């Protein structure tokens, strides 16, 4: 059962946008906790991800951004957009379409990419250890990627219980690569007018803390932290909900 308004007070709507290789399933521990706090939650599968059957060959960053913007426009009140990991570029680009309909943007150990840069170019700011095994394998035509089985536990779920890490391993799917290569187009009048928060994950092996902090230095946000892996929605859902709940206090700059 979803959240309800209390004594006629409008409830906040959170739209949770999953990261690469994931789907709406990753929010299953977080959604009921937020709803218990009186927050309305939307957690969609992006086109081509999770249970959505859109062909990966047709996925672009613009398609995802417009999909999210359309969801925001359908809500009766301003929305808090939360993006995890690759979801960060999606919420940033979506904000250009509906800045007046957004209460805040929240980057959960996410890619906070400036105007004119791409996710891929941003990743290169912190070179990968050449001795570390690869996390992903590209398809023969290089249009999509899949996670290496060992990386699911070692890189993404290193502080998560065995049970929940195994669930994630059973559900991750292919990821279209075109959005990773697409430069973002952001403006002061769009993205720049929406309050921002960043939730660092201190034990993250997927987006190193060094890179998280470099991104925030370039695009300042209110910053908080969790002592977790890249996937606090499974490893620390209660602590994550505490921080998401606090975002409601953010004020426009």
- 215: domain CATH number is 3.40.50.1820
How many domains, the chain?
1
**Residue 6 forms part of a structural domain:** no
**Residue 5 forms part of a structural domain:** no
- Two structure tokens written together for 173: 């799917």
Tell me which residue range forms the domain holding 198: 13-249
The residues facing 138 across adjacent strands are 145
**Residue 3 forms part of a structural domain:** no
Is pTM, for the whole model, over 0.75?
A: yes
**Residue 189 forms part of a structural domain:** yes
**Residue 53 forms part of a structural domain:** yes
**Residue 158 forms part of a structural domain:** yes
Give, in order, the Cα–Cα distances in Å from 246 to each of 1, 192, 199, 231: 23, 21, 11, 19
206-245 pLDDT tens trace = 999 999 999 999 999 999 999 999 999 999 999 999 999 9
Q: Is the pLDDT of residue 4 over 70?
A: no
Contacts of 22-25 with CB under 8 Å at 24 or more apart are 22/49, 22/50, 22/84, 22/85, 22/168, 22/171, 22/172, 23/49, 23/50, 23/51, 23/52, 23/171, 23/173, 24/50, 24/51, 25/50, 25/171
Tell me what pLDDT residue 129 has: 81
Average pLDDT rounded to a whole number, residues 17-30:
98
């Amino acid at each position: 059962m979803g959240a309800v308004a209390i004594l006629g007070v409008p409830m906040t709507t959170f739209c949770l946008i999953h990261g690469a290789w994931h789907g709406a399933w990753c929010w299953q521990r977080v959604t009921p906790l937020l709803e218990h706090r009186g927050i309305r939650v939307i957690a969609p599968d992006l086109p081509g991800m999770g249970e959505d059957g859109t062909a990966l060959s047709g996925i672009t960053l613009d398609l995802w951004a417009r999909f999210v913007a359309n969801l925001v426009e359908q809500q009766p009140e301003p929305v808090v957009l939360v993006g995890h990991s690759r979801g960060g570029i999606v919420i940033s680009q979506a904000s250009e379409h509906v800045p007046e309909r957004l209460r805040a943007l929240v980057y959960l150990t996410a890619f906070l990419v400036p105007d004119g840069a791409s996710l891929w170019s941003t990743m290169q700011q912190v070179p990968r250890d050449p001795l570390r095994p690869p996390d992903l394998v590209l398809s023969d035509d290089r249009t999509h990627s899949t996670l290496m089985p060992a990386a699911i536990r070692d890189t993404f779920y290193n502080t998560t219980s065995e049970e929940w890490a195994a669930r994630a391993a059973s559900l991750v799917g292919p990821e279209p690569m075109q959005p990773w290569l697409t430069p973002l187009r952001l403006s002061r009048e769009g993205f720049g007018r929406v309050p921002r928060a960043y939730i660092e994950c201190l034990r993250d092996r997927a987006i190193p803390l060094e890179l998280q902090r470099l991104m925030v230095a370039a695009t300042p946000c209110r910053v908080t932290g969790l002592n977790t892996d890249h996937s606090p929605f499974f490893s620390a859902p209660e602590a994550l909900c505490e921080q998401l709940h606090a975002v409601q206090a953010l004020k426009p700059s």
